Structure 1
Amino acid sequence: MMPEVSISSGTSATARDAFLFGKYEMGRLLGCGAFAKVYHARSVSTGQSVAIKVISKAKIAGSAMSSHVKREISIMHRLRHPNIVKIYEVLATKTKIYVVMEFVKGGELFSKISKGGRFGEDLARKYFRQLISALEFCHSRGVYHRDLKPENILIDENGDLKMTDFGLSALSDEQIRSDGLLHTLCGTPAYVAPEILNKKGYDGARADVWSCGVVLFVLTAGYLPFHDHNLMTMYKKIYRGEYRSPKWMSSDLKRFLSRLLDTNSKTRITVDEILRDPWLMKGGVDDESSEFRPEDGFSPEFEYCPTECPLNAFDIISMSSGLDLSGLFGNSAGHVERVVSCESPERIVGKVREAVESTKSEYNLISTRSEWGMEIEGQKGKFMLEVEIHRLTDTLAVVDVKRKTGDISHYQSLWKEKIMPKLTVTAEAPPVAAAADCDQD
């Protein structure tokens, strides 16, 4: 079970006060999300810089986010390691929770790459050693990160790596089922392991290793190994392990990456094997001139445009047949539901046609938008539904269903009661907390 997290209570302090509980002098805003804001602060007694996450109790009360926040705090309390961001204490008022953490001055690893270059192999090796050291410690404490990426890795003023953001992490003593596997679909699409998407359960440690492989590729290539503007196309590349190593990579690194990015989780390299790998065991770090290679250019594939930034765990979670996210967006038309089926697109098209015909002209197929896409009309044109099918693998397809116009009751009647029962969808995933790690005040 999750260990209890003690929270010291106060009565009147807020994040906007100059001093918090007389202990911390609040400084500039570092960032914010949907339920929280993060500030730079200074300890009054020691002068030490800290980061303070300020969470609104009102905005998480009565939602899954409440237990989500508590789990993240509990996990961070378990993890005391030089390459993991430390949590110092948790304070609270009637309206706010204040999580006091280590302040990492150097910023995100992602920002270092996105400035215009890749890392030399020696520097990448140094960071990867530290990443694997932190990951091995997490796994030894029953924690699986599940969202490893350069944005969740910080670099301190000494040039050392710090793992952070445990908002999507799993605890072995709480979330592993009787089959010994995790089943919650989460992560960031470009970094997620292929076995997570098939919804048959996955080993958290091996999934983390895959994400580390993607991180190492990004560090040494300067772009993502699996990328496409079409999400389904990118998932196909991940399933097949389709990527190209740049010409400047050493043969030893290419071999190492092939073991990290093995699509078969059972034969994928383990953390113990990583620590003994010849590439990782090579000599020290070159001088600072080896840090970036801007002359090689920067792949546009690695640029994160605003429209792609939201492609986080929500996209993967929404693929679960057991979790309809339409409720998050109200009952207005336009929401998209996504399910995964273990039938071919051709069979799904046939079953959709069969379901529509069974309504005896109450609903009609009015057009075929593509080979595996169609529009269905009902209520004398007042209701319209779009169905789009994407082949994910030889045995999996994704079905996107969008209600363009019409009452939600007709959507429920047609999709939920007539079409959905005819499809062979994969096993349901349990409901999970939202993917955001911190939320806006």
Structure 2
Amino acid sequence: MRLGKYEIGRTLGEGNFGKVKYATNVETGKGFAVKILEREKILQLKITEQIKREIRTLKLLKHPNVVRLYEVLASKTKIYMVLEYVKGGELFDKIAMNGRLKEREGLMLFQQLVDGVSYCHDKGVFHRDLKPENVLVDARGNIKISDFGLSALPQHLRDDGLLHTTCGSPNYVAPEVLANRGYDGATADIWSCGVILYVILTGCLPFDDRNLAVLYQKIFKGDVMIPKWLSPGAQHMMRRILDPNPKTRITAAEIKEDKWFKQGYSPAAPEEDDDDGLLDMHDLDEAFSFSEAEQVRDGKAPAFINAFQLIGMSSSLDLSGFFEKEDASERKIRFTSNYSAKELLEKIEDIVTQMGFHVLNKNGKLKVVQSRKDLKGPGSLCIMTEVFELNPSLYVVELRKSSGDIALYRQLCTKLANDLGVSRSQPLLTSIAC
């Protein structure tokens, strides 16, 4: 298959939005990775702005430790992103296959990670989903930060100068991101770098639990067990980064001045802007200019997609099961709220009673029951409701359907989420837009 001057070859990877294939420039023989996005899927998922944001972000970044975007092409049915080809694969796979790295090798990778991340911050780009799966290692052992699909730019800051979209992967997300009161993107990224450093040097996660509510409590406390066999410098660095208080957490500039970090450190120089005009922003808008007729098919608008669904589609460690429907049968749904546990239980009881349900309160758990003999079919519903505390200002409400009418269950869940959901005035589903 030919795409302009590129000859498309084998498939390197496949996701929900399309495929990544290896391509060769027939004029130079140089290899590239081409991300092929299906326009129809982009329309269906309503993620046009999301993809354009990733492209605009990568357009800004030209650094040895960041994956480079060279060109964007479009056809009637597909969008093609021509990216730097990184032969070595993910850092995650390197650690999974070989276990923890020696401290010297791990320090070198960490130095490159901090170099790349701090460069992004200098450009006003906050990654917000740093993890070993999004860090590639080339054939020479150098890292390349990738996947800027959840990144944010200065224009995404609110009036308080902070970001407010909760996104990232559970084991790597900073506590202030979960607190839902706004966060500094640079500080949150540094926390994620600290988790990656811990994984590199120990081969395991600093915060982990199968129960996500328990996992988040561990993250809020920042209580991490640092192995004593690590050097004092490495231990000190981990403690400074994995500080749950973002105001006292070490910054990128301070990391670069640290004695342990500076061992053999040779800062990478950003690449010169050799923009040849291939990625014109007007052309980008044209590539994504779908007509109104295309956007509405069969009388139905494209499905809405939010941040947590997007993470769930692109990551094996995702937040989707924690904040929204957890399985195909929709038997369990969770959402966050800023009401206290006592307020939540009282308000849930008031709401479901007004809707005609019966409520049984036992040991802080509510059993919601309704029998509707006037309706055809089973016409009954039985739900268990439980509240978990993440921190003093953030709680999780979990609804579990034991039996009954699915439509009735959805109606009740929607009502509770809208009335009690995150930040009181905000809906359950958080838009990907910051």
Name 1:400's counterpart in structure 2: 398
**CA shift in 2, pair 1:70/1:420, >3 Å:** closer
Contact residue 388 and residue 399 of structure 1 kept, 8 A: yes
Contact residue 89 and residue 100 of structure 1 kept, 8 A: yes
Q: CA RMSD in A?
A: 2.8
2:392 is matched by which residue type in structure 1? D
Pairing 1:23-422 to 2, within 5 Å after superposition? 23-61=5-43, 63-173=45-155, 175-283=156-264, 310-315=316-321, 318=323, 334=330, 336-358=332-354, 362-365=356-359, 368=362, 371-372=364-365, 374-380=367-373, 382-403=380-401, 404-406=403-405, 408=407, 411-412=410-411, 414-417=412-415, 421=419
The separation in 2 between residues aligned to 1:283 and 1:30, in whole angstroms, is 34
Q: Tell me the SS of whatever aligns to 1:28.
A: strand
The separation in 1 between residues aligned to 2:422 and 2:147, in whole angstroms, is 36
Deviations 1:338-375 (A, max 9, x none): 3222344344333333444445xx3113585x743534
State the Cα distance separating 1:378 from its structure 2 match.
3.8
Deviations 1:79-119 (A, max 9, x none): 00011111111111110111111110111111110014211
The separation in 2 between residues aligned to 1:275 and 1:210, in whole angstroms, is 15
Contact residue 366 and residue 377 of structure 1 kept, 8 A: no
State the Cα distance separating 1:431 from its structure 2 match.
3.8
Q: Tell me the SS of whatever aligns to 2:47.
A: helix
Unaligned runs of 5+ in 1: 1-16, 286-305, 319-324, 435-441
State the Cα distance separating 1:231 from its structure 2 match.
0.8
Q: Runs of 4+ in structure 1 displaced over 6 angstroms?
A: none
Contact residue 367 and residue 376 of structure 1 kept, 8 A: no
Contact residue 352 and residue 368 of structure 2 kept, 8 A: no
**CA shift in 2, pair 1:426/1:280, >3 Å:** farther
The separation in 2 between residues aligned to 1:46 and 1:38, in whole angstroms, is 21
2:185 is matched by which residue type in structure 1? G
Q: Tell me the SS of whatever aligns to 2:383.
A: strand
Contact residue 109 and residue 150 of structure 1 kept, 8 A: yes
The separation in 2 between residues aligned to 1:241 and 1:191, in whole angstroms, is 12
Deviations 1:236-287 (A, max 9, x none): 10011122112311222111111101111111111111111121012469xx
Unaligned runs of 5+ in 2: 267-311, 374-378
Q: Tell me the SS of whatever aligns to 1:85.
A: coil
Name 1:10's counterpart in structure 2: none
**CA shift in 2, pair 1:335/1:35, >3 Å:** farther
The separation in 2 between residues aligned to 1:409 and 1:313, in whole angstroms, is 25
1:151 is matched by which residue type in structure 2? E
Contact residue 333 and residue 406 of structure 1 kept, 8 A: no
The separation in 2 between residues aligned to 1:67 and 1:424, in whole angstroms, is 24
Query: Is the deviation greater in 240-249 or in 201-210?
Result: 240-249
Higher relative contact order (CA 8 A, sep 6+): 1
Contact residue 111 and residue 265 of structure 2 kept, 8 A: no
The separation in 1 between residues aligned to 2:334 and 2:47, in whole angstroms, is 23
**CA shift in 2, pair 1:391/1:32, >3 Å:** same
Percent identity reads 41
Q: Tell me the SS of whatever aligns to 2:117.
A: helix
Name 1:296's counterpart in structure 2: none
**CA shift in 2, pair 1:335/1:415, >3 Å:** same
